[in-house]
Amino acid sequence: MPALNLSPAKANRSMPPRHLADLTLAQRREAVVELGEPAFRANQLSHHYFARQVTDVTAMTDLPAALRDRFADALFPRLLTPVKEADCDNGATRKTLWRLHDGSLVESVLMGYPDRATVCVSSQAGCGMACPFCATGQAGLTRNMSTAEIVEQIVSAARSSEEADLGRLSHVVFMGMGEPLANYSRVVAALRRITSPAPEGLGLSARHITVSTVGLVPAIRRLTDEDLSVTLAVSLHAPDDELRDELVPINNRWKVAEVLDAAWHYAKRTRRRVSIEYAMIRDVNDQPWRADLLGRLLKGKLAHVNLIPLNPTPGSRWDASPKPVEREFVARLRDAGIPTTVRDTRGQEIDGACGQLAASQQLAEPQGGTEELAHAQRGESRKVAL
């Protein structure tokens, strides 16, 4: 197999201009002062954006009208434009396809449950990890997303959740397009924005935030030292190196033992249970002996297995494991003392379930200016850019 290119990818798209959410509160105050205004205006802007989810400066009516245009130009560039929205589950699952300022496309999915509202967000436009069973991984990486582009998905979801009567947004999962830990500095900055109390950020609980990775060992170790205590999810998908080399190509760089060692270090430091993500693929990784091997690897560790029935993607040769096979896999893990659940396959009807996000698009620009959009699909595979 050819060597993996682990150097930072050269983006073929441009990053967006500076936004309020890219800045710490102290930096926002400095930016406001540079505009010739008193620093307290930064607190006002931050309160509107994070506490009230107001993204349109013209609606911030407690600011003098003359200031709104200046602040809009300097701190509130348009980051995300909705291209298409789809929903299912009686409106409880809502997927949005966003166009970024440079034309890049990403997706996020808002899911309402009886006890919580969760948004699944993207951290990269596309993905460069090339996991063969994942829609996003087959499209390649366009570019990293900025901190504010990531945060904006969450702020938008918080507003939409209230408007759709799904309740207050409480959970965030970084399981959309891209590998979060390959866009490390911006993702960590986004985590700090959304966990910091107002007016610094959204004030969400770190315990309700999950960051997924295919196993970028150095980045996992860096995250361990950040003192963020979010939940770490490792997309393992195979307990043995021979198969994982094929399913998760980054395994050719960092083997299963190295990935799990970094995960256990994270669990010990944060006292947070690691989620082991495992897509169940028919006749590929669902054999009973692999369940037994996985159980031995996890026994006695602070871990939980989240089995994911493989969701269909157009033209894929991969298929989900039959339910009897899935049930035996679960039983063997539980017999080994490993807490195990099977993920709800929410959003299949709108290509919004695990492994289906791809933000693929076929645009036609007729004279009327309307756009036709192909179905978008969701993914979890990742790009390395350390």
* 88 annotated binding-site participant: no
* 237 annotated binding-site participant: yes
Q: Which of 120, 277, 354, 380 is catalytic?
A: 354
120 is catalytic: no
* 134 annotated binding-site participant: yes
* 179 annotated binding-site participant: yes
* 178 annotated binding-site participant: yes
354 is catalytic: yes
Task: Pull the structure tokens for residue 358.
Answer: 């791809």
Q: Which of 37, 107, 152, 246 is catalytic?
A: 107
* 91 annotated binding-site participant: no
* 235 annotated binding-site participant: yes
- Residues comprising the binding site? 127, 131, 134, 178-179, 212, 235-237, 311
Catalytic residue numbers? 107, 354
- Residues comprising the binding site for S-adenosyl-L-methionine? 178-179, 212, 235-237, 311
- Residues comprising the binding site for [4Fe-4S] cluster? 127, 131, 134
